[in-house]
Amino acid sequence: MLACAILAMPLAFAATVNAAQPPAVESSDPALRVKAAYLYKFAGYVEWPPGVFATEDSPIVVGVIGDDDLEEILSRMIVGKTLNGRPLVTRRLEAKSSLQGLHMLIVGALDAPTLQAIGDAVRGKPVLVVSDAGQERMLDSMISFDLVDHHLRFNVALKPAATSGLKLRALMLTAARRVTQGDP
């Protein structure tokens, strides 16, 4: 029952946020709006290690690479929002962009060499890596999205999160479709 309520949160959040958004966000792909709502919620269920943020009100920096539409929707969705007293900001990244200063990295469709390079760059760093299913092994993603029966679901891999010093709260794990103790 709790898992159902948690899974419904992004849908409810997306509906309320998008009601007040400009037409560009309203007319976008509904699946992207749901994914953006999940990403916003994920940030609230992660504990980063001490010292990751410069100050108590430093923003949570979310980098998005390989999915400009998702970055645009997410950036509009989080305007003026905070999580645990921290504002959220997005950065649209290119394949050669610096990944320095990120707290979350959302990876869209990219070629295998680029995925491998990104995985190598963030592996072991306190960055929550989120990808689509099929990319998680190259990236050591902590969270991967999967489409199941036309519904967006997510899987969680605990080992990469622990290796990176991140703690994922139980509510997130309860809502996940699958939680693996080892590598993704």
**What is the C-alpha separation between 73 and 141, in angstroms, rounded?**
22
| Amino acid 184: pLDDT | 58
| Amino acid 105: pLDDT | 95
Tens digit of each residue's pLDDT, the chain (184 residues): 445 445 554 444 444 444 444 444 454 678 889 999 999 999 999 999 999 999 988 999 999 999 999 999 999 999 989 888 899 999 999 888 888 999 999 999 888 888 889 988 988 999 999 988 777 677 788 999 988 888 889 999 999 999 999 999 999 999 999 998 866 5
Question: Can you tell me which residue has the tokens 């509906």?
Answer: 15
**What is the C-alpha separation between 179 and 162, in angstroms, rounded?**
13
**What is the C-alpha separation between 3 and 22, in angstroms, rounded?**
31
Residues 6+ apart with CB under 8 A from 26: 18
Dump the DSSP string for 116-136: HHHHHHHTTSS-EEEEETTSH
Domains of the chain and CATH, by start: 2-180 (3.40.50)
**Helix (H/G/I), strand (E/B), else coil: 79:** coil
| Amino acid 17: pLDDT | 42
